């Protein structure tokens, strides 16, 4: 009998295992809305074909004394009708299960992925191929095969790009990867200390040096705003989807001389502050934003390959910042934290931290506990989060059948995700709370600037669910 193949988890994956819980399952969802009701037989055929090409998705997660690892399995995925709330738990330590699922509901196809397996970019490749194959089977003529998978990313999909670009030693055991996640959380906390919020002029031409020079400044006088609300009864997420014209919102962002991402982050911060009930003399709103490292270090790996930036704006009662000022601050901070030099220093620091002899021999349950405690501490310094998956593209023969693309993640705090297809930009807000004040204010801010918005939401309370049944 041939021995099953296994791979060590990448540097970013281990924190997801330690930090997941019933509220934040560390699962994210990609959805496609198609022309007609989904044909499950054709969807299964499409999944079978794509699954053959993506070896990484054959993995199950196993636990060792010192580490977790991915092991190749003989399991076959089966498409299922959606019956559970979005982003329901996927990984169960006592079961041998695949780390993704494919669901359908009416005219939508959903791909849900446990974040320890892949990040949004890696999952998007699988998803694009899945939808293309489904459209081919369901709509196109037999000689039309839809989109063929990119051979490079099929070949290199299981590569650990953190090891390729940053690990100075070729020793690649899992305990080092676990420690990388620990240091990653530590660095996220340090970055929030490094940012000199609301400073409109760059300190020097080298914005990386500006961040480094502010290291160690204490935050005793800063009040990091933490949003509170009423938890949903069964821990299901509130999901609110917005659809708007990509072209129009880009034109609006250009008026502020910033990118689309910066503009929407700034608008989100304004919505948060204006819906805050008690306004202290100084209130800092922080936002966590992942950065796809493939933009700076070429990689076709479908595994996690990202780091996180922390942006911050401090409001004072004497004078509320306007949207232009907030855009300038966020743009400067994001530029500083996404320079190649800064990213290299940041990732190199947590890679070198892996070599600590004590941590290397620490057993896995203790590592999990340490990571969980530090993650809880780190969460106290983050108000909200956002993620931008970018533009999704399909072959020309597939595009007419795709009506919309959606992307969202499980959430321990309010956050939003953005993705675009053709001229449709979709923003998906997720929150563990029933209240929707922030999201309503965000829509108001958009409509005030003549942006038309289509809004949809799920039902989470007992009253809402009962109305659905009637």
Instruction: Specify the pLDDT at position 176.
Output: 45
In the numeric block, the tokens 């099929």 are attached to 154
At residue 389, the pLDDT reads 95
Low-confidence ranges of the chain (pLDDT < 70): 1-4, 11, 142-156, 163, 167-222, 318, 349-360, 468-470
pLDDT at 77: 98
Query: How far is the CA of 425 from the CAs of 39, 331, 430, 451, in angstroms?
Result: 26, 21, 16, 12
pLDDT in tens, 408-449: 999 999 999 999 999 999 999 999 999 999 999 999 999 999
Q: What is the DSSP string of 309-356?
A: EEEEEEEETTBPPPHHHHHHHHHHHHHHHTSHHHHHHHHHHHHHGGG-
Q: Write down the pTM of the prediction.
A: 0.86
Which residues fall within 8 angstroms of residue 459, CB to CB, at 6 or more apart?
465, 467, 468
pLDDT at 355: 52
Q: Residues 6-163: name the CATH superfamily.
A: Chloramphenicol acetyltransferase-like domain (3.30.559.10)
Looking at residue 172, what is its pLDDT?
42
| Predicted local distance difference test score (pLDDT) of residue 344 | 83
Residue labelled with tokens 């780091």:
307
Residue given tokens 């809004």 in the structure block: 455
Cα–Cα distance, 299 to 173 (Å, whole number): 21
The predicted pLDDT at position 152 comes to: 59
pLDDT in tens, 335-359: 999 998 888 887 776 666 555 566 6
CB 381 within 8 A of CB 189: yes
Q: Are 162 and 59 in contact (CB under 8 A)?
A: no
- The torsion region of residue 182 among left (phi > 0), alpha (psi -120 to 50) and beta comes to alpha
Which residue, 321, 328, 74, 332, is CA-closest to 203? 332
Contact of 237 with 391, CB cutoff 8 Å: no
* Count of CB atoms situated within 10 Å of the CB of 354: 24
Tokens encoding 341: 């030099």
Q: At what angle do helices 260-274 and 246-255 cross, to 10 degrees?
A: 80
Tokens of 154: 């099929």
């Amino acid at each position: 009998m041939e021995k099953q193949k296994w791979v060590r988890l990448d540097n970013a994956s281990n924190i997801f295992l330690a930090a997941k819980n019933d509220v934040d399952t560390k699962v994210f969802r990609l959805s496609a809305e198609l022309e007609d009701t989904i044909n499950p037989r054709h969807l299964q055929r499409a999944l079978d074909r794509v699954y053959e090409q993506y070896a990484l998705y054959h993995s199950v997660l196993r636990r060792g004394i010192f580490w977790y690892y991915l092991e190749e399995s003989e399991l076959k995925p089966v498409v299922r009708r959606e019956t559970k709330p979005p982003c329901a738990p996927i990984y169960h330590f006592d079961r041998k299960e695949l780390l993704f699922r494919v669901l359908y509901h009416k005219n939508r196809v959903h791909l849900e992925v446990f974040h320890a397996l892949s990040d949004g970019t890696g999952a998007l490749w699988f998803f694009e191929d899945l939808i293309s194959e489904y459209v081919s089977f369901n709509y196109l003529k037999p000689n039309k095969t839809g989109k063929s998978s990119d051979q490079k990313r099929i070949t290199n999909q299981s590569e650990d790009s953190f090891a390729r670009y940053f690990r100075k030693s070729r020793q690649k055991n899992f305990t080092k990867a676990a420690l990388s996640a620990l240091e990653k959380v530590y660095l996220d906390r340090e970055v929030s200390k490094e940012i000199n919020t609301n400073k409109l002029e760059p300190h020097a031409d080298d914005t990386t040096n500006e961040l480094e020079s502010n290291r160690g400044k204490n935050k005793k006088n800063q009040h990091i705003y933490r949003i509170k609300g009423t938890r949903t009864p069964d821990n299901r997420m509130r999901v609110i989807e917005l659809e708007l014209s990509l072209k129009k919102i880009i034109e609006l962002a250009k008026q502020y001389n910033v990118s689309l991402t910066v503009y929407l982050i700034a608008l989100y911060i304004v919505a948060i502050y204006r819906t805050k009930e008690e306004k202290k003399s100084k209130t800092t709103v922080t936002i966590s934003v992942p950065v796809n490292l493939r933009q700076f270090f070429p990689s076709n790996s479908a595994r996690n390959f990202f780091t996180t930036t922390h942006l911050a704006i401090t409001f004072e009662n004497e004078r509320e910042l306007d949207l232009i000022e907030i855009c300038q601050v966020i743009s400067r901070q994001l530029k500083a934290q996404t320079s190649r030099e800064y990213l290299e220093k940041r990732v190199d620091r947590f890679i070198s931290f892996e070599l600590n002899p004590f941590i290397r021999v620490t057993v896995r349950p203790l590592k999990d506990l340490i990571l969980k405690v530090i993650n809880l501490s780190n969460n106290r310094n983050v108000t909200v989060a956002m993620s931008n998956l970018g533009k999704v593209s399909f072959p020309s023969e597939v595009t007419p059948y795709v009506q919309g693309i959606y992307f969202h993640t499980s959430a321990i705090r309010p956050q939003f995700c953005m993705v675009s297809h053709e001229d449709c930009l979709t923003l998906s807000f997720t929150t563990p709370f029933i209240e929707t004040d922030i999201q309503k204010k965000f829509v108001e801010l958009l409509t005030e600037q003549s942006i038309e918005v289509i809004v949809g939401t799920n039902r989470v309370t007992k009253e809402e669910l009962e109305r659905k049944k009637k």
